[in-house]
């Protein structure tokens, strides 16, 4: 019998023929720790009695949630991180380069077929290049730092097939929101999602990244895309035979297969305060808004900023609406700057901030208050996520978000 992509990755990693439900120990290719958790990882690592990292080059430390610091205690995390990195000989430290999930693939830390863990739930993002990547807590991270291994249960796989051409006003964000709505917030818990079909093949790596990023919002352990020529170019490599083999076999066993026609997708939103409360944007039209946020590890990439700039070109953000734009990394910031995208956004009235997680995780840079409503391109609309528990968060694509910023209310983007 054939294998799914996740089964092939685990088989390659462990040298064992595996099936869903098996508990196996994997060798970890790379780990990511971010600023919020590094003090805890460091403490647990030493409490466990480890005296050296299993492989300092495989450990990446990224400051993003607290950059730049917004409270007096925040810099303690940077000092603790710097001390840890120095003490254990770590070179891969990013102090203000961007959001962890953007940097891990952008800076070349993750390659197709790798097994990667991070101290953040959106670590599923690296499935965009065909890596098995998943989020864990700081205690497990500390044990990986010492051992280089971790136990996992081989997940069942849900296959998602999308064929055809997407309507012009639809982005990959609309696809993953629709899928989360169809599966439910726990519909893929403990499971792998595997994406295929002509729509997915024609998609940029950046668009795949948005989908893989939000797989966790359906509970998924990981989300996998088959590495192809675009992946190879993005990663700056030539695919080897193993990486080329990472597609689901015809006779692989899937828990179920969900099939979509690309032409059927429409712009959608996740309504307050559940990620799986998905509605067509058309039925929400006219709802007044106070703020729009375009950014995050979900939708802060060049193509996202470009899509927003196309909508905003020559227009103005509506009175009383604040538009906050946060590129996902410094590299993207510079590219967008060189291409004039930031000029277009600023001329339309956007506030452009440094790359980071601040607003998405409710710590800085545009926090909202009781009764306010925001259209946002990030990944979570949980109660209290971007301010008080009486803020209403609508999740949408960058195109939809930009159109809403101009209209001052929820609207469906035209193109």
Q: Which is nearer to another protein, 12 or 76 (CB)?
A: 76
Q: Which is nearer to another protein, 185 or 237 (CB)?
A: 185
Q: Which is nearer to another protein, 92 or 121 (CB)?
A: 121
Half-sphere exposure of 101 (CA within 13 A, CB side): 35
- Cα–Cα dist 293/300, whole Å: 10
Least distance CB 51 / another protein (angstroms): 9
Interior angle at CA 197, CA 195 and CA 199, nearest 5: 100
Q: Which is nearer to another protein, 58 or 191 (CB)?
A: 191
360 is in an annotated binding site: yes
Assigned token pair, 158: 């849900």
361 is in an annotated binding site: no
Contact footprint for another protein (CB under 8 A): 23, 36-37, 40, 44, 47-50, 65-66, 71, 73-74, 76-77, 118-121, 123, 134-140, 142-143, 146-147, 151, 185-186, 189-190, 219, 221, 274, 361-363, 380, 382-385, 389
Least distance CB 16 / another protein (angstroms): 16
Least distance CB 154 / another protein (angstroms): 13
Q: Which is nearer to another protein, 105 or 123 (CB)?
A: 123
Least distance CB 406 / another protein (angstroms): 30
| Alpha-carbon distance values, 101 to 32, 209, 295 (Å) | 9, 9, 13
Assigned token pair, 390: 């009486």
Q: Which is nearer to another protein, 25 or 198 (CB)?
A: 25
Least distance CB 355 / another protein (angstroms): 18
- Cα–Cα dist 407/319, whole Å: 9
Q: Is the dihedral of CA 211, 131, 117, 102 positive or negative?
A: negative
- Cα–Cα dist 378/328, whole Å: 11
Least distance CB 140 / another protein (angstroms): 6
Least distance CB 39 / another protein (angstroms): 9
Q: Which is nearer to another protein, 215 or 403 (CB)?
A: 215
Least distance CB 99 / another protein (angstroms): 14
Half-sphere exposure of 208 (CA within 13 A, CB side): 32
Q: Which is nearer to another protein, 247 or 385 (CB)?
A: 385
297 is in an annotated binding site: yes
Q: Which is nearer to another protein, 80 or 330 (CB)?
A: 80
Indicate the annotated binding residues.
Answer: 297, 357, 360
Residue list for the binding site for [4Fe-4S] cluster: 297, 357, 360
């Amino acid at each position: 019998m054939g294998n799914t992509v996740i089964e092939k990755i685990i088989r390659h990693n462990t040298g064992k023929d595996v099936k869903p439900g098996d508990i196996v120990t994997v060798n970890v290719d790379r780990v990511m720790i971010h600023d919020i958790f590094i003090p805890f990882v460091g403490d647990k690592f030493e409490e466990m009695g480890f005296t050296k990292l299993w492989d300092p080059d495989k450990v990446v430390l990224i400051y993003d949630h607290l950059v730049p610091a917004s409270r007096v205690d925040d810099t303690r995390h940077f000092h603790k991180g710097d001390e840890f990195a120095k003490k254990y000989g770590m070179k891969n430290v990013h102090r203000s380069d961007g959001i962890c999930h953007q940097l891990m693939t952008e800076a070349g830390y993750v390659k197709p077929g790798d097994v990667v863990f991070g101290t953040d739930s959106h670590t599923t993002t690296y499935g965009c290049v065909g890596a098995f990547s998943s989020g864990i807590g700081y205690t497990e991270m500390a044990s990986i730092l010492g051992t280089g291994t971790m136990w996992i249960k081989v997940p069942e796989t849900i296959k998602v097939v999308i064929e055809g051409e997407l309507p012009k006003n639809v982005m990959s964000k609309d696809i993953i929101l629709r899928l989360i709505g169809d599966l439910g917030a726990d519909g893929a818990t403990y499971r792998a999602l595997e994406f295929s079909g002509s729509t997915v093949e024609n998609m940029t790596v950046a668009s795949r990244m948005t989908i893989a990023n939000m797989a966790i919002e359906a509970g998924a352990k990981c989300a996998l895309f088959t590495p192809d020529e675009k992946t190879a170019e993005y990663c700056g490599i030539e695919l080897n035979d193993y990486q080329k083999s990472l597609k689901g076999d015809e006779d692989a066993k899937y828990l179920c297969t969900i099939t979509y026609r690309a032409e059927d997708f429409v712009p959608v939103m996740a309504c307050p305060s559940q990620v799986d409360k998905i509605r067509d944007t058309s039925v929400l039209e006219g709802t007044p808004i106070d703020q729009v946020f375009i950014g995050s590890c979900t939708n802060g990439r060049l193509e996202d900023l470009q899509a927003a700039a196309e909508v905003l070109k020559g227009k103005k953000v509506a009175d009383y609406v604040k538009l906050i734009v946060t590129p996902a990394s410094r590299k993207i910031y510079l590219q967008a700057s060189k291409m004039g995208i930031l000029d277009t956004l600023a001329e339309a009235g956007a506030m452009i901030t440094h790359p980071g997680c601040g607003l998405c995780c409710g710590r800085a840079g545009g926090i909202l208050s009781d009764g306010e409503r925001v259209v946002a391109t990030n990944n979570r609309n949980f109660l209290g996520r971007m301010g008080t528990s009486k803020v209403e968060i609508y999740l949408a694509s960058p195109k939809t978000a930009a159109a809403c910023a101009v209209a001052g209310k929820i609207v469906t983007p035209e193109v």
